[in-house]
Amino acid sequence: QVQLVESGGGLVQAGGSLRLSCAASGSIFSFNAMGWYRQAPGKQRELVAAITRRGSQTYADSVKGRFTISRDNTKNTVYLQMNSLKPEDTAVYYCKADGSWDYWGQGTQVTVSS
């Protein structure tokens, strides 16, 4: 059983930046990929960004050029650097680990004011 704990969310003005962290209780290298998802009120959860064990990255079109996902295997932590934030980025952001079993974090709220 792996636990994922997100942190770094908060309230920020449009145009601002936040960095989310996802700390795993075990080795993240064992997972095929780590990802960040988000869910806004009344909407389905969607993929924001993902990074594979080898470091290949995928981004939703809506965040390309603004968000960057990275991982530190020595710290078992995945990050999401979010720049040029927009009100439509407001959501609960979740970390996910993809492997033989999938694990989700509890989520962290990001609110972007206009």
Report pLDDT digits (tens) over 25-73: 988 888 999 999 999 999 999 999 999 999 999 999 999 999 999 999 9
DSSP the chain: ---EEEE--EEEETT--EEEEEEESS-GGGSSEEEEEEE-TTS--EEEEEEETT--EEE-TTTTTTEEEEEETTTTEEEEEE-S--GGG-EEEEEEEESSS-EE---EEEEEE-
The CB density around residue 47, as the number of other CB atoms within 10 Å, is 14
pLDDT of residue 34: 97
pLDDT of residue 84: 98
pLDDT of residue 93: 98
Contact 37, 19 (CB under 8 A): no
Contact 105, 94 (CB under 8 A): yes
Alpha-carbon dihedral sign for residues 79, 77, 93, 17 = negative
Rounded mean pLDDT, 87-104: 96
pLDDT of residue 26: 86
pLDDT of residue 102: 93
pLDDT of residue 88: 97
Predicted confidence (pLDDT) per residue in 12-31, tens digit: 999 999 999 999 998 888 89
Rounded mean pLDDT, 63-89: 97
